[in-house]
Amino acid sequence: MTDALNTLPDSQTADQPSDQELKAKRKKSLSFVALIVILAVILYLIWKLFFNHSVSTDNAYVGAETATVTSMVTGQVAEVLVSDTHQVKKGDLLVVVDNRDAKIALAQAQAELAKAKRQYKQTSANSNSLNSQIYVSDDVIHSAEAQVAKAQADAGKAQDELQRRSQLAASGAISKEELSTAQSAVNTAKASLDVAQAGLNQAKSSQKAAQSNKAANDALIQGSNENSAPDVLVAQTRVEQALLDLERTQIKAPFDGVVTSRKIQVGQRVAPGSVLLMVVPLSQLYVDANFKESQLENVQPGQKVALTSDLYGDSVEYQGTVVGFSGGTGSAFALIPAQNATGNWIKVVQRLPVRIQLDPKELAEHPLRVGLSMEAKIDLTSK
C-alpha cells in the first residue's frame, strides 16, 4: 500500500504538462493569431489597392423634371384631347379652352388700333390746317394794320378841323353847330381808331393761338409716323396681347413625354394658373442615388455609373454619368428637420443624393418611369 501511495504522485506529475510545453503552446497560439492579423492586413491592402474601385447603393430612384401644364387664360374647357398614360410629342394639342371671349377681345383691340391710326391722320391734317391759318392770319394782320393807319389819319384830320373851327368860333366866323359837328367828327375818328386797333390786336391773338395749336399738334406727331406714334404702338400692343390670349386657348405639350395626373374635365372653368395635367419627359430621366456619406470621399462629377432597375432586372444595364451632388441631405431639407441637440442623441449615418444622368438612347430602348427603384454602382477610376 505504501508503494501505491508513492507511485500516485508520479503518475499525476507525468500527466501534467511542463512549463516549457505551456510556453511552447502559448507561443504557438500567439504566432497563429499574429499570422491571422497579418493575413487580414494583407487582404485589406490588396482589396484597398486592387478591388476598392467602386461604391454602390440600392437606395436610388428614377426622377424627371416634369412639366406642370397650367392655363394662361380664363374660360371654359371645350375639349380635352388626352388622358393619363398618353404619349405626346412637342406641340401636340392637349386642351382647348372656349375662345369666343378671346376673339371678341381681339376684335376690340383691332378696332382701337384702327381708331388710333385715324386719330394720327387727323392730328397730322390739323397741323396742315393750322399752318394755313397762320399764313392767312398774316394777311389779316396787314389789313388790320392798314385800317389802324387809316383811322389814325382820319383822327388827325378831324382834330385839325376841330382846331381850325375852334379858332373861327372865337371870332364868330362859324356857328356853334358847326363847331359841335367838328367835335363829333373827332370823337368818331377816335372811336374808329380804337376799333381798328382792337381788330389788329385780335388778328395777332388769333395768329398766336394758331401757332400754339400747331405746336401742340406737332408735338403729338413729331418724330413719328402712322405706325410708330405712341397711341398706335399702345393699340398695337393690345392687339398682340389679344392674339396671344387667343393662341393660349389651345394648350399644347411643351416637349415629348407621357401625360399623367390629369385634373381637368370638359365644361370646367379654369383661370390663369389652374393646373390641368402633367407631362413627364421619358427621354430626359435621371436617377437620384442616395449614398452614405462615408462612400463619397472619392466620388466626383463625370464618373461613370452602372445601373440596373428592378423593372428589367440584371439583364439590362444602363450606363450613366455622375452630374453632381445635392445641396444637402434629405433630413436637412425636411419639413421638420431633425434636432440633434438632445441628451439621447445617437449618431446616424446620413445619405446624400447624387444626381446621375441616363443615356437617352438606352432609355428609348428600355423605357423607365418616375419613381422606379434602381441600383447604382459608381466606378471611382473613371474620371
Ordered mean pLDDT values, 10 residues apiece, the chain (383 residues): 46 58 75 83 68 82 92 93 93 94 94 88 72 71 79 78 70 68 78 81 77 69 73 91 94 93 92 93 91 88 92 91 87 70 75 92 91 91 76
Which domains are delineated in the chain? Answer: 67-99+248-280 (2.40.50.100), 102-243 (1.10.287)
d(CA 112, CA 366): 56
Confidence (pLDDT) at 220: 65
Confidence (pLDDT) at 49: 61
| Cell, residue 254 | 411643351
Confidence (pLDDT) at 169: 66
Confidence (pLDDT) at 161: 74
pTM: 0.62
Confidence (pLDDT) at 269: 94
Confidence (pLDDT) at 1: 42
pLDDT in tens, 217-257: 666 666 667 777 888 889 999 999 999 999 999 999 999 99
